[in-house]
Amino acid sequence: MTAPSRTIAFTLNGRPVTAEVAPHHTLIEVLRDGFGLYGARESCGQGLCGCCTVLLDGRGVSSCLYLAVFADGAELVTVEHLAAGGELDPVQEAFIEAGAFQCGFCTPGFVLMTKQLLDEHPDPSDDQIRHYLSGNLCRCGTYPQIVEAVKLAARKRGSV
Amino acid sequence: MNDTAFVSTGQVGRSLPRVEARAKVTGTAEYIHNFRLPGMLIGKICRSTVPHGRIRHIDTSAAAAIPGVYAIVTGEDIRKIIPDPYYGPAFHDQPILALDKVRFVGEPVAVALAADPHIAENAARAITVEYDELPAVYDEVEAVTATAYVHDVLKPAGTFADLKHLVGRRQTNVALDFHLRRGDVEAEFAAADHVFAHEFRTQQVMHTPLEPFVSVAEAANGAVTIHTASQNPSFVRVEIARLLGLKENRVRVRTAFLGGGFGGKLYIKLEALVTALTLIAQRPVKVSLTMEEQFFTITRHPCTFRIKSAVTKDGRVTARKCEVYYNGGAYADIGPRVAQKSGFAAAGPYDIANVHIDSFETYTNRPPAGALRGFGTPQLVWAYESHTDLIARALSLDPVEFRRRNLLRDGRPQATGTVMRDAPLAAVLERAAAAIGWGQPFDRGSGPVKRGRGIAIGFKASISPTASVAIVNLSGDGSCTLYCGTVDMGQGSTTAMAQIAADCLGIEAETVRVIAADTDVTPYDMGTLGSRSTYHMGLAIQRAAADAKAKLAALAAELGVPEGTNLPIAELFRRKYGAQAGNIIGTGSFMPSHKSPDPQTGQTDDATPYWMSAATGCEVEVDTETGRFRILRLVNVADCGTAINPRIVETQLTGATVMQLGFTVYEGMEFTDGQLRNPSFAEYKIPGIRDMPARLEGEIVTSRQGGGPFGAKGVGESGTYAVSPAIANAIHDAVGVRISALPITAEKVYRALREAAGNPLPED
Ligand code: FES
Ligand code: FES
């Protein structure tokens, strides 16, 4: 591609980084090709499934649509950061304990959205859970167990 | 060998979390989706824009001229290196890239290769193809008599005895006709108190695994390696070896975790294409489909089912005639197996003396159809359980009582003549009825909003006969590695198989390492399909573990260790080799007995090693002013024999319920003149978290499958069987109208209500 590229600087999983990106590059391409991060996955490619979710300044975005140039100056967290210290995040623990996945392809997206939800609403109502997770699809249909996991994660975070 | 000789040591029946759980929540689990090789090219596909036509000309010049394009490949280029580039499990009918003709909109015609996916995509768009359009056929019933033929000549693969009579047949769209005859239905219809006849239809839907189809191939030194999201690597190996004229040991097929499969990732999907491309390009090649492209790859059969029953005045079904038309699309894939294996169970789980079944697999100019979680069964259950409910209502019989009266009991012959064993149909039905509160008074709603309840039950035979082979490897320190070709696509097989191996060996399941399917190391397995793995692979593992134990005992004897000493395995090895060294390899294989049905009558006394059953109870609320309905409660009860991991079984059950809920009330591929209008989640809606019924439950009934490993059998598909008719039956119960074609939409309900009120809406 001949489009002029540009250097952007952002924080990725706690570290300052820079990347050379073309205007058409999406965030997920840069994470994969530039940083070898594969936890965000492109599935629908249309912002409809949430498999590619990353947290940008604390908010879930669809990295399949989000143009990388707009991440300049942002703080980015991918699922890889959650257990960076070797210890699982309470959300991840809860997903395991509640059996809240089958194939696991959608799981990083659900985990990150749950993290955002609990950061904003530590004790979420059923409605809030449905609202925050409505942009994430699970074709394995693990929703009942995911709801259970979110509630369990809320309890785990509340008790620490 | 006596397979029931194993006494559980407590690993089977544990609800331990999936062994790969940590990798899945941290995003590090391996999927082929993420796989890359140095020097790898990306292939993007140019697809047919017409439903049926002769290829007049393919112009690749503009595409090839784009800077960064490595090559443009057409079907003719492939024919130069693979002289007969047609594949398929039942018919060798599908070209790797279209040759001479295209048969559906979306069929792959050419591929653009480039290192940069954006360049490959632009190039694929720059390819222009001219067609001479041919008349097309889309409907499965019309296909039988149509004069537009999808294929000029039928080419059965020769692996299936029941397709031999179709060799070389011309001027037909029928890819399989299965017939079952038992008793005399016509005499019964003539003499019956009541005769009921209905027609039901299902729509075309797609698996939409969130990891879209993906394969990578590389070739070197006369051998090919394919990294692929496949549910049956052993089949892929055999088929690629056949296409290339290689021995099996020159073809390696490996998988990783699959991001969903549901029957879609079976047989050949992209594997033959990436193999041909890597041989042409002499570079590794990856083809990764978009969500949109998945809809042009494999789907679930649309189906038309005409069903007719004779019933006595006291509610006994004495005869049933079934005419089932499956719409297989442009290529047969495994469709003929769907038509046959499901066809023989089309009369339902009932004890009916006279049965007449004709089941047809047809070719049409639509995207191909194959296996999707149930192998044709959900389409059948939709029809026979809607029909059953209509009969009960017409005779003013309680729908559960009517089913109870006719249910096939253990020890009675099913329509094939095979005697039913270990199929607790009655327990499944009663449990579902009790769970939904059947027979108890409930709030039927007030004003325009009405409530109703529905129930349905379905069953399915296992696909037979198929083989599984397993290897148990004990290392010098006593640790156990399990080599088994079962692919974990989310059903939890890695965990279940580890539990089975561990239980046989008397060790902790968590300590067993399971090697993902890789034909270079894992032995043959027919495929991860049809809910067969727990039973077939489970038994192979039991035998492999028994073999390893026998070898351990022989080693102990050789070393003069008295029986019953219980020396740790590591110590045995140390005494034998003087160090931490050596292996003990146990192998085991399993293939059930089976007798092919008689080609004229479909009769056999050994149709299947086991039956699976499930019943669904549903409660709905319908707004009579708009037709909108809400599912308040959905309970799915299944029988899986012994649950190897009860927690995972429940998740599978609720998961299958959610998937079938989508196929019942949301999903449907919509076509205009063969053009698919909605290949995107924007317009093809799958269930999200907001679409969950207020109560969604999965339950298993206690039972034991004779001959199964620890009394277990499969359950991956069971949750799909009875959901659709349970919902339709509940809607009927609430507002008195019947929807006979899936999906059930508010518009259909509203139209039916208006029609029932004698004030029909005009057709649009
Ligand atoms: S892949 Fe980004 S939302 Fe689906
Ligand atoms: S676990 Fe498979 S898509 Fe969610």
pTM higher than 0.95: yes
- B463: confidence class by pLDDT, cuts 50, 70, 90: confident
Report the C-alpha gap between B252 and A57 in whole angstroms: 44
Tokens read off for B328: 């297989």
pLDDT tens digits along B108-125: 999 999 999 999 999 999
Please give the average per-residue pLDDT across A79-91, as a whole number.
Answer: 95
Residue with the smallest CA separation from ligand 1 atom 3 is A47
Determine whether B351 is exposed, middle or buried from the number of CB atoms within 10 Å of its CB (0-12, 13-18, 19+): middle
pLDDT tens digits along B351-364: 999 999 999 999 99
Tell me the ligand closest to A54's alpha carbon.
1
Helix (H), strand (E) at residue B269: none
pLDDT of residue A2: 58
Phi-psi region of B194 (alpha: psi -120 to 50; beta: other; left: phi over 0): beta
Phi-psi region of B411 (alpha: psi -120 to 50; beta: other; left: phi over 0): left
Q: For residue B110, what are the CA distances in angstroms to A104, B96, B126, B656?
A: 33, 10, 11, 36
Is the model's pLDDT at B94 over the cut of 60?
yes
CB count within 10 Å of CB B745 equals 17
Least confident of B284-293, B482-491, B560-569, B692-701: B560-569
R_g over Cα of chain A: 16
Amino acid B216 reads V
Interface test with B, best of A1, A41, A43 (most B CBs within 10 A): A43
Is the model's pLDDT at B563 over the cut of 90?
no
Tokens read off for B639: 């029988």
Is the model's pLDDT at B128 over the cut of 50?
yes
> Angle, to 10 degrees, between the axis of helix A107-120 and the axis of helix A90-97?
120
User: Residue A80 and residue B27: Cβ atoms within 8 Å?
Assistant: yes
Residue with the smallest CA separation from ligand 2 atom 3 is A138
pLDDT tens digits along B46-59: 999 999 999 999 99
pLDDT of residue B564: 83
User: Residue A130 and residue B689: Cβ atoms within 8 Å?
Assistant: yes
- Smallest Cβ–Cβ distance between B211 and the set A105, A111, A144 belongs to A105
Q: How far is the alpha carbon of B704 from chain A, nearest alpha carbon, in Å?
A: 25
pLDDT of residue A160: 58
Domains and CATH numbers, chain B: 21-30+466-590 (3.30.365.10), 373-463+598-756 (3.30.365.10)
Q: How far is the alpha carbon of B319 from chain A, nearest alpha carbon, in Å?
A: 38
Does the CB of B352 have a partner CB in chain A at under 8 Å?
no
pLDDT of residue B4: 47
Report the C-alpha gap between B35 and B517 in whole angstroms: 16
pLDDT tens digits along B256-272: 999 999 999 999 999 99
Cβ–Cβ < 8 Å for B94, B87: yes
Cα torsion angle, B334, B266, B509, B574, sign? positive
Q: Write the DSSP symbol of residue B443.
A: -
Give residues 240 to 299 of B whose Cβ lies within 8 Å of A.
257-262, 290-291
Interface test with A, best of B689, B695, B718 (most A CBs within 10 A): B689
Ligand 2 atom closest to Cα of residue A102: 1
Amino acid B228 reads T
* A:B CB pairs within 8 Å: 159
Give the side-chain half-sphere CA count within 13 A for B746.
11
Tell me the ligand closest to B259's alpha carbon.
2
Report the C-alpha gap between A85 and A14 in whole angstroms: 12
Domains and CATH numbers, chain A: 6-81 (3.10.20.30), 84-156 (1.10.150.120)
Report the C-alpha gap between A77 and A89 in whole angstroms: 13
pLDDT of residue B17: 96
- B3: confidence class by pLDDT, cuts 50, 70, 90: very low
Q: What percent of chain B has pLDDT over 90?
A: 94
pLDDT of residue A117: 98
Q: How far is the alpha carbon of B42 from chain A, nearest alpha carbon, in Å?
A: 14
Q: How far is the alpha carbon of A9 from chain B, nearest alpha carbon, in Å?
A: 24
CA of B140 to the centre of ligand 1 (A): 35
Report the C-alpha gap between B13 and B80 in whole angstroms: 54
Helical residues (DSSP H) of chain A, grouped into ranges? 27-29, 35, 90-97, 107-120, 126-133, 143-159
Tokens read off for A2: 């001949």
Cβ–Cβ < 8 Å for B471, B482: yes
Mean pLDDT (chain B, rounded): 96
Dump strand ranges (E) for B520-655: 583-590, 611-623, 629-639
| A140 close to ligand 2 (CB < 6 Angstrom) | yes
Greatest Cα pair distance, chain B, in angstroms, is 90
- Smallest Cβ–Cβ distance between A51 and the set B23, B24, B210 belongs to B210
- Using an 8 Å CB-CB cutoff, list chain A residues near B209: 103, 105, 139
pLDDT of residue B274: 98
pLDDT tens digits along B496-506: 999 999 999 99
pLDDT tens digits along B374-416: 999 999 999 999 999 999 999 999 999 999 999 999 999 999 9
- B156: confidence class by pLDDT, cuts 50, 70, 90: very high
Is the model's pLDDT at B1 over the cut of 50?
no
pLDDT of residue B355: 98
Ligand 2 atom closest to Cα of residue A51: 3
Cα torsion angle, B529, B531, B535, B537, sign? positive
pLDDT of residue B27: 97
Tokens read off for A66: 């989000």
Is the model's pLDDT at A1 over the cut of 60?
no
Report the C-alpha gap between B289 and B124 in whole angstroms: 13
Does the CB of B540 have a partner CB in chain A at under 8 Å?
no
**Three-class SS state of B176:** strand
| A135 close to ligand 1 (CB < 6 Angstrom) | no
CA of A101 to the centre of ligand 2 (A): 6
